[in-house]
């Protein structure tokens, strides 16, 4: 099996690559990533270093932008992939509010390029990694409501609008061209290699540095948190056993208010809650996300395995053990890593 995984130097996709190489050592995994600010080559470098215990000979890294049609087609001619899993995206809501354009480029046009390549060269599965944010939000006072796969698309931010547009395009390619597609819509992930601009890693890193912990508005917004490894396992299941043309919601039934998350992190790390700083709210801030994962459970047998109390401790421990990884992001050095690596080889 030869799998192209896009966005592999980012958070979820790098975890997915480690998961797949560990579970299927005979698979070839080809990572496509153009290394935006969110891509960190040091995350993947150990897989390519012969002296590293994580070295894997069936892995290839290609620095390519998924919007670069010629380069993507060239790669398909070289690799003849069986499966494509498209994680590559601009993923941060706050950045989409400041500058939507690149979100439309990568998240919509990039998806089209990847699917066109799949049509042209033939694949057995194109999987689109999407988000619960395509459903918009739920009210805070209706805990009985959840997003199902039938919930109408109703987006709030330029980020979620771009992801929803891509989802519609994916379903159009299924209906029009019979492209064998699947889509997963997952809730908020947390775990190792999470870029410290998102709530959980930002709060961990700031707390470790005794810096203020910014909470938007009153911290009452609710997110449904899932440990990243559980998301990776769900995608693994979908690409192997999912049904063409289907959408699968993925979530941990683990709803928490932002302020409670921040308090838990302070407690586990042993820092005072006085670091918490309430700041101006996000524009159009979604109130509550809550996924109903019944379909993927009933049809494919997936269940989240990691309890939040366990997952958050593992995550904090990872940030304690891997200071170099996030300190190089804060200093900006991580962006030179690929250059150094290229020169060394
Ligand atoms: P991330 O921002 O950590 O990583 C994105 C990766 O994509 C980076 O390595 C970046 O360099 C790469 N990339 C960006 N534009 C590219 C382009 N044009 N060509 C090639 N590579 C490009 O993202 P993440 O949080 O790991 O999210 C991955 C996917 O999962 C996204 O599609 C996102 O919408 C979806 N998702 C994320 C979450 C979450 O909680 N983080 C939840 C549900 C769904
Ligand atoms: O400094 C902060 N303070 C704060 O209160 C940040 C960065 C966030 N927040 C709030 C906003 C949200 O209610 O915390 C919550 C989580 O924010 P993010 O970590 O930015 O995630 P969110 O906006 O929920 O989106 C995430 O989950 C769905 C991912 O970034 C998306 O890519 C994914 O699709």
The pLDDT, as a whole number, for residue 105 is: 98
Query: Is the complex ipTM more than 0.85?
Result: yes
Confirm or reject: Cβ of 189 under 6 Å from ligand 1: yes
Q: Is 105 in the pocket of ligand 1 (CB under 6 A)?
A: no
Asked whether 223 lines ligand 2 (CB < 6 A), one says yes
Q: Assess whether 133 carries a catalytic annotation.
A: yes
Residue 34 forms part of a structural domain: yes
| pLDDT at residue number 290 | 98
Residue 173 belongs to a domain: yes
Taking the CA of residue 163 as reference, the ligand 1 atom at the shortest distance is: 34
Give me the pLDDT at residue 343, please: 63
The CATH code of the domain that includes 167 is 3.40.50.720
Pocket test for ligand 2, best of 216, 227, 231 (most atoms within 8 A of CB): 216
Structural domain range at position 154: 2-191+227-253+284-306
Q: What is the pLDDT of residue 130?
A: 99
Report pLDDT for 337. 85
Q: How high is the pLDDT of residue 339?
A: 82
| Minimum CA distance residue for ligand 2 atom 9 | 199
The verdict on residue 324 lying in a domain is no
Confidence at residue 344, expressed as pLDDT on a 0 to 100 scale:
55
User: Ligand 1 center to residue 91 CA distance, Å?
Assistant: 5
Of 300, 284, 222, which is closest to residue 255 (Cα–Cα)? Answer: 222
pLDDT tens digits along 108-155:
999 999 999 999 999 999 999 999 999 999 999 999 999 999 999 999
For the Cβ of 38 lying below 6 angstroms from any atom of ligand 1, the answer is yes
Q: Is 216 a catalytic residue?
A: no
Mind listing the pLDDT tens digit for each residue in 277-297? 999 999 999 999 999 999 999
Q: How many domains does one find in the chain?
A: 1
Q: Which residues of the chain have pLDDT under 50?
A: 345
The answer as to whether 202 is a domain residue is no
Whether 47 is in a domain gets the answer yes
Distances from the Cα of 58 to the Cαs of 15, 73, 122, 126, 224, in angstroms? 16, 21, 21, 20, 35
**Distance (Å, rounded) from C-alpha 15 to C-alpha 191?**
9
CA of 32 to the centre of ligand 1 (A): 12
Decide: 83 in ligand 1 pocket, CB within 6 A.
no
């Amino acid at each position: 099996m030869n799998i192209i995984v896009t966005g592999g130097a980012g958070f979820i996709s790098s975890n997915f690559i480690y998961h797949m190489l560990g579970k299927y050592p005979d698979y070839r995994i080809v990572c496509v990533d153009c290394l935006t600010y969110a891509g960190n080559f040091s995350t993947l470098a150990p897989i390519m270093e012969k002296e590293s215990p994580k070295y894997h000979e069936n892995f290839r890294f290609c620095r390519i932008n998924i919007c670069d049609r010629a380069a993507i087609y060239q790669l398909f001619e070289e690799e003849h992939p069986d499966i494509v899993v498209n994680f590559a995206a601009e993923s941060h809501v706050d950045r989409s509010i400041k500058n939507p354009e690149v979100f439309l480029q990568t998240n919509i046009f990039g998806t089209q390029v990847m699917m066109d390549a799949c049509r042209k060269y033939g694949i057995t599965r194109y999987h689109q990694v999407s988000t619960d944010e395509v459903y918009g939000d739920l009210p805070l006072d209706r805990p009985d409501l959840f997003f199902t796969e039938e919930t109408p698309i109703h987006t709030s931010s330029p980020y979620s609008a771009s992801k929803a547009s891509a989802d519609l395009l994916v379903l159009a390619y299924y209906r029009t061209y019979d492209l064998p597609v699947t889509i997963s819509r997952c809730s908020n992930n947390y775990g190792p290699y999470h870029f410290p601009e998102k709530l959980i890693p930002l709060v961990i890193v700031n707390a470790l540095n005794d810096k203020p912990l910014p909470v938007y508005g009153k911290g009452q917004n609710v997110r449904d948190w899932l440990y990243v490894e559980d998301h990776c396992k769900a995608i693994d299941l979908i690409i192997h056993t999912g049904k063409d043309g289907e959408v699968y919601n993925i979530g941990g039934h683990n709803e928490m208010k932002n302020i409670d998350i921040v308090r838990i992190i302070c407690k586990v790390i042993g820092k005072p809650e006085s670091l918490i700083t309430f700041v101006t709210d996000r524009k159009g801030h979604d109130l509550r996300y809550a996924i109903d994962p019944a379909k993927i459970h009933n049809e494919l047998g997936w269940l989240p395995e990691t309890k939040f109390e366990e997952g958050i401790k593992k995550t904090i421990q990872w940030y304690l053990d891997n200071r170099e990884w996030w300190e190089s992001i804060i200093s900006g050095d991580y962006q030179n890593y690929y250059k150094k690596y290229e020169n060394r080889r």
